[in-house]
Amino acid sequence: MLILKPDDIPSSEITPRSAYLNRRQFIAAATAAAAGTAFAKASTETTKLSTIKGPLSTTGEDLTPFDYITHYNNFYEFGVEKGDPAKNAWRLQTRPWTITVEGLVSKPKTFDIDDLLKLRPLEERVYRMRCVEAWSMVIPWVGYSLSEFIKQCEPLGKAKYVQFLSLADRKQMPGLSQSSINWPYSEGLRMDEAMHPLTLLCVGLYGQVLPNQDGAPVRIVVPWKYGFKSAKSIVKIRFVDKQPHTAWNDEAPNEYGFYSNVNPNVDHPRWSQKYERRIGEPIFKQRRATLMFNGYADQVASLYNGMDLRKYY
């Protein structure tokens, strides 16, 4: 199993890393200043998205700085270390890009990413994100509710689950040969979870198109579940009647269940889930208690009424 357990992450990593990021920010600012405003303008104009404020945003939390969101990633297609995706994901070609919809739908369809971008107004949605490795971030995503896209897919009544499949292309993704994951990366949601308004079809963050390492050009974001449910760079959506297989459950079924709801009362077999470390915060403020359903219990707990969450972890 490749996921590090929190105890394996040396605390010494935190300080040098933030020092490194501060240096990077300084260098980036100095370079931009040296290049003049023309450089700064050109680099933002190409990536900016026009957004409206999403009413479902989480409020009252400091946003994780952009540099951490884009340099501390899990995207195993580009390597297993947290810094690998930022180094390697430039290889990913995000145009042309299509999502193929198949399975239990009135008729299979293929959507072009540029049409998806125009389907609904793009919202900025600030969400708390909690990784199963016990770190968290607060990210201003850009997108709209996945339910809006699902309606366009016209699923049949028999469809009970949705499966998401990521791109798996050895020419662009050097990490495919470095780990034992059952590629392509596969994730899934029950239909009512997928239709929940909080579940986001995500195309950007911080008002820009998604950086490649965060799952460009389109990913899913499910804020009340551990981060691995949020499949990146998706190319296929399949509507099915049975629970689909998922990448991490295939890898270690006793550690990563299908539901993967954030739950401080159900420990991972190798570590506690009671606390988390907020990436990018000063070290004395990083540790905080993990919240049931990652703080989204009021909105989503009813989806699991009557279910034993120890069994359906």
127 phi and psi angles, rounded to 5 deg: -130, 145
Nearest to 299 by CA among 192, 219, 202: 192
Task: Please tell me the distance from the alpha carbon of residue 132 to that of residue 263, in angstroms, as a whole number.
Answer: 10
CB 306, min distance to ligand MTE, A: 29
Characterise 169 by phi-psi region: left (phi > 0), alpha (psi -120 to 50), beta (else). Answer: beta
Task: Please tell me the distance from the alpha carbon of residue 164 to that of residue 161, in angstroms, as a whole number.
Answer: 10
104 or 231: whose CB is closer to ligand MTE? Answer: 231
Instruction: List binders of ligand MTE among 251-310 (CB under 6 A).
Output: none
72 or 304: whose CB is closer to ligand MTE? Answer: 72
CB 141, min distance to ligand MTE, A: 9
- Judged by CB under 6 A, does residue 172 bind ligand MTE? no
Instruction: List binders of ligand MTE among 127-166 (CB under 6 A).
Output: 131, 166
Q: Which two tokens stand for residue 154?
A: 């016209």
Other Cβ atoms less than 10 A from the Cβ of 303: the count is: 15
Q: Which two tokens stand for residue 175?
A: 């990490």
Q: According to CB under 6 A, which one of 74, 88, 199, 290 is a site residue for ligand MTE?
A: 74
Other Cβ atoms less than 10 A from the Cβ of 148: the count is: 15
- Judged by CB under 6 A, does residue 237 bind ligand MTE? no
104 or 212: whose CB is closer to ligand MTE? Answer: 212
Residues contacting ligand MTE: total by CB under 6 A: 16
Residue nearest to ligand MTE (CB): 227
Residues that bind ligand MTE (CB under 6 A): 73-77, 131, 166, 185, 214-215, 227-228, 230-233
